[in-house]
Chain A
């Protein structure tokens, strides 16, 4: 019997819960670690980046206004669906990162477990970083964390799934919405993750994923006046690019998570820094009296 001819996937953008091609109509070749053709990925442009910000802003009231319990449930559901795509993630990580299958399996396991770890923070972070403040007067005064808004994320260039999860999950668990620019050379796990997100009860627009050259979209995201924060993880190792993006981010005082000198391994257990980086502290006062 002849071998069955596979049905190949078209790798597209993920904006507002839909899978458009780039408005430019362009794509670029994605190869495996040995240079063999894997797929044509969409080449996102400034227009796609702006559309993604609009979608993220539109999704913000609903997602930030959802209960923490509900956000936790949705994010846990994402991990469940990731588990179902385990084999596909392993294929893509092994091909893109050029690691052995066993190593790729470990990376995918860790990525799913990390997503679960972050999911659990949704209804706990406020208790850890919030406070009741004993002011010297007849007032009840408390501080609560709130999401900062729309966050632009430059995903790590090397770690295509574990790194991706490590920067994306902490943004949305706090109630923010995200526009993520995937790794240029290793974008396939990000596209597959977008398909997971689309089938996990995550409202459209909460996460938007762009593939293509970070240079084509990052500058627009960093300068966009309706973006509230930016994670420069994907600019690790390119200090001048990171500095330019931070300069652009100052125009509306975005919260900036700086790029490290070199991309970390992402295997160490994360702290709360990436969650709290996108949280504002709101303090509410009310008099006490009869």
Chain B
């Protein structure tokens, strides 16, 4: 097979203007934190420091929650649904207008390939605001009673894997339902959220309706535990999700939690192999595997194991790992030094526990955080790499003989976020999808997302749904 070499095709970063430092976005304005502390956001592909970011402390979070409360009491709760919707439509349009800028900035701050930020993340962000904008004046049809009410102030904490998309999943339904928000972006990826703050200014969104407080885990804790917050929404690890569930115990605060996963991607012997291989690759190597619903456990029917693995390995040799801003890049940088250490540790555990490790030959850049696409075979259900969320480009391969065994193995996890099924037999797809204990089942596809489509987990993958009418319900209550 001839392998073509690609010339570099870098997307220009001239379109983004990264400031040397950023304050907190509270009450419609950027402000320095009270105690003046800050942290650095780093480009994970180069380790270059991008900007100094304000670290919000207790007083800052308090000020943001108060600003959100004032905006709720004085402005947002008095506005008609139609007008709330118009603000959201404006925001959706500005996101489309500034799409390239947002995509480049996202790739610089997060390390994900520009092909993904440009074609997946940012278009979905705009679509999400568009979708929920239309709900704002139709709430009585949402299924929460004839006159549903917002909760008030929503405290929202999001992860670093899809920074702006997770912001959209949180802010768009909250605002459409009539809540105001204080959002904390992840420590390592705050830049697109801060650019979104500027977009709110351009849209003339009333001050205080959206507040962005930057910081690490402690800032998030201060936010979700703040007594002025009526509704908590969190996307991140199951461990932190449990802490949040404990912190709201005994209160009237509602929480929705979108947490970890260890999805099974199940390939039957009648599956179209080439499509399945593409689905396996998309399932685990999309966004460097930094995906809570990633198909990190491949379950292959024994009779097609050899063929599937051979084709999968051949396909992996064509993946291009490197500069996230290069339009030909398939796999970008690992988001942080910390995450890289976690992936390395679990990969080493995989080897130590007896699984066989394989990666295609690929040259990794000298600077930055990188991990090659990796496949473990000979994995058993007891191995840590089959049980723990690695959150990186690491696939664990197991086998099965019967559909019942596939279901049993797929469900043998405390998680239940997503699953994949590959087969040409329609009745088997439906039989499997009824038995897989997971909030999303992708049949003959994987990692598809849409603003109209509810997403969220069973069991320890959390509770509540985001997306669609179901996602709106998380921000509404039937009565005062």
Footprint of B on A, CB under 8 Å?
Answer: 128-129, 131, 133-137, 139, 141, 143, 148, 228, 239-240, 242-243, 246-247, 249-253, 255, 258, 271, 273, 280-287
Which of B98-106, B200-208, B281-289, B438-446 forms part of the interface with chain A?
Answer: B438-446
User: How many angstroms from the CA of A258 to the CA of B462 in the assembled complex?
Assistant: 17
Establish whether residues B445 and A285, one from each chain, have CB atoms under 8 Å apart when the complex forms: yes
> B270 at the A/B interface (Cβ < 8 Å)?
no
Chain B: minimal CB distance from A139 (Å): 6
Option from B250, B429, B455, B470 in Cβ contact (under 8 Å) with A242: B250
Contacts of A251 in B (CB 8 A): 242
> B230 at the A/B interface (Cβ < 8 Å)?
no
- Quick one: closest B residue to A252, CB to CB? B460
Establish whether residues B444 and A287, one from each chain, have CB atoms under 8 Å apart when the complex forms: yes
Chain B 453-467, CB-CB to A under 8 Å as 1, else 0, gives: 111101110110100
Establish whether residues B250 and A133, one from each chain, have CB atoms under 8 Å apart when the complex forms: no
Residues 252-271 of B at the A interface (beta carbon under 8 Å): 252, 257, 259
> B49 at the A/B interface (Cβ < 8 Å)?
no
12 A-B residue pairs with Cβ-Cβ distance under 8 Å, sorted by A, are A131-B469, A135-B448, A135-B450, A137-B448, A242-B250, A243-B250, A253-B245, A253-B259, A253-B463, A280-B458, A285-B453, A286-B443
Contacts of A129 in B (CB 8 A): 143
Establish whether residues B452 and A134, one from each chain, have CB atoms under 8 Å apart when the complex forms: yes
Option from A252, A253, A285 in Cβ contact (under 8 Å) with B257: A253
Chain B 465-480, CB-CB to A under 8 Å as 1, else 0, gives: 1001110000000100
**Interface residues of B toward A: which range?**
35 or more
Chain B: minimal CB distance from A113 (Å): 22
Knowing A134-B452, A135-B452 are in contact, say whether A282-B249 is a contact too (CB < 8 A). Answer: no
Establish whether residues A246 and B454, one from each chain, have CB atoms under 8 Å apart when the complex forms: no
Contacts of B259 in A (CB 8 A): 253
Q: Please indicate which of the listed interface residues A128, A133, A137, A281 has the most CB atoms of chain B within 10 Å of its own CB.
A: A281
Establish whether residues B463 and A255, one from each chain, have CB atoms under 8 Å apart when the complex forms: yes
* Among all A-B residue pairs, the 8 with the closest Cβ atoms: A243-B250, A246-B249, A250-B245, A135-B450, A286-B443, A133-B452, A133-B453, A250-B246
Knowing A129-B143, A228-B459, A253-B463 are in contact, say whether A139-B445 is a contact too (CB < 8 A). Answer: yes
Q: Please indicate which of the listed interface residues A131, A255, A273 has the most CB atoms of chain B within 10 Å of its own CB.
A: A131
Chain B 228-256, CB-CB to A under 8 Å as 1, else 0, gives: 00000000001001100110011010000
Chain A: minimal CB distance from B273 (Å): 16
User: How many angstroms from the CA of A136 to the CA of B450 in the assembled complex?
Assistant: 7
Option from B145, B242, B433, B455 in Cβ contact (under 8 Å) with A250: B242
Option from A240, A271, A287 in Cβ contact (under 8 Å) with B145: A271
Establish whether residues A285 and B443, one from each chain, have CB atoms under 8 Å apart when the complex forms: yes
Contacts of A250 in B (CB 8 A): 242, 245-246, 249
Knowing A250-B245, A255-B463 are in contact, say whether A148-B458 is a contact too (CB < 8 A). Answer: yes
Contacts of B238 in A (CB 8 A): 253
User: How many angstroms from the CA of A139 to the CA of B452 in the assembled complex?
Assistant: 12
User: How many angstroms from the CA of A195 to the CA of B468 in the assembled complex?
Assistant: 43
Establish whether residues A280 and B439, one from each chain, have CB atoms under 8 Å apart when the complex forms: yes
Establish whether residues B450 and A281, one from each chain, have CB atoms under 8 Å apart when the complex forms: no
User: How many angstroms from the CA of A2 to the CA of B414 in the assembled complex?
Assistant: 64
Chain B: minimal CB distance from A233 (Å): 15
User: How many angstroms from the CA of A131 to the CA of B468 in the assembled complex?
Assistant: 9
Q: Please indicate which of the listed interface residues A129, A139, A243 has the most CB atoms of chain B within 10 Å of its own CB.
A: A139
Establish whether residues A133 and B454, one from each chain, have CB atoms under 8 Å apart when the complex forms: yes
Option from A141, A247, A283, A285 in Cβ contact (under 8 Å) with B246: A247
Contacts of B456 in A (CB 8 A): 281
Knowing A253-B463, A281-B439, A287-B444 are in contact, say whether A133-B450 is a contact too (CB < 8 A). Answer: yes
Contacts of A128 in B (CB 8 A): 143
Establish whether residues B465 and A281, one from each chain, have CB atoms under 8 Å apart when the complex forms: yes
Contacts of A131 in B (CB 8 A): 454, 468-470
Knowing A253-B460, A281-B439, A281-B470 are in contact, say whether A271-B450 is a contact too (CB < 8 A). Answer: no
